[in-house]
Amino acid sequence: MLQASKLIPQAQGLAPALVRRAAHVELDWDVRQKSRFDATASDGRSVGVFLPRGTVVRGGDVLITQDGSLIRVVAAAQTVLKITACADHSHGHAHDSAFDLMRAAYHLGNRHVPIELQTDHLKIEPDHVLADMLRSQHLTVTEVREPFEPEGGAYGQHSGGHSHAHGGRAHDHDHAAHDHHGHEHAAGHAHG
């Protein structure tokens, strides 16, 4: 098995032609937040990935194997919940879409759920309790299959290495407040 223990974030400094020609691995978010995993590259080779603890692999990153070959990382499509603002004005009040999404991001962030932030939508992993909460806030929640690239605990996952020092979960922020809910993301927790 080929080993890869070096990651070039977003292929920085690599010739684009080399990266385009490289074999790739398609990995979902569960795998990309682990620092040690096995994968099969598009050319059929098995790759054992051993990265520094706490490294989060993003789509567009490039792994370098011990024989010097490049393997491009592709964020695999996976089942996620896509959260968009409600366009329906029949509730008796016009929705401020941006505010509704911002409030949803705040509530989800409070629960330390990995969350992908886009200008017009949010994405989270499937969770029917959270989906019900969001729908009760007049947001539209749909299940889609798309790549999932949640925010890291600190912006710029790869900058300076300081954002990796918290045990492998990219969404645990470095402040001490992240143990206040005991991390159960299930029911019984509707403190919203």
In a structure prediction context, what are the per-residue pLDDT tens digits for the chain, which is 192 residues long?
A: 999 999 999 999 999 999 999 999 999 999 999 999 999 999 999 999 999 999 999 999 999 999 999 999 999 999 999 999 987 655 555 668 889 999 999 999 999 899 999 999 999 999 999 999 999 998 999 999 999 999 885 444 443 333 333 333 344 444 444 444 444 444 444 444
Cα 174 to the center of its chain, rounded Å:
17
Query: By residue range, what is the domain housing residue 114?
Result: 77-147
Same domain, 62 and 121: no
Beta bridge mates, 117? 122
CA distance 102 to 96: 10
Q: Is 107 helix (H, G, I), strand (E, B) or coil?
A: helix
Q: Report the predicted TM-score, pTM, of the whole model to 2 decimal places.
A: 0.74
Do 69 and 112 belong together in one domain? no
Q: What CATH number does the domain containing 135 carry?
A: 3.30.70.790
Class of residue 61 by CB neighbours under 10 A (exposed 0-12, middle 13-18, buried 19+)? buried
CA distance 186 to 129: 7
- Report the distance separating Cα 107 and Cα 124, nearest Å: 12
The answer to the question of residue 107 being in a domain is: yes
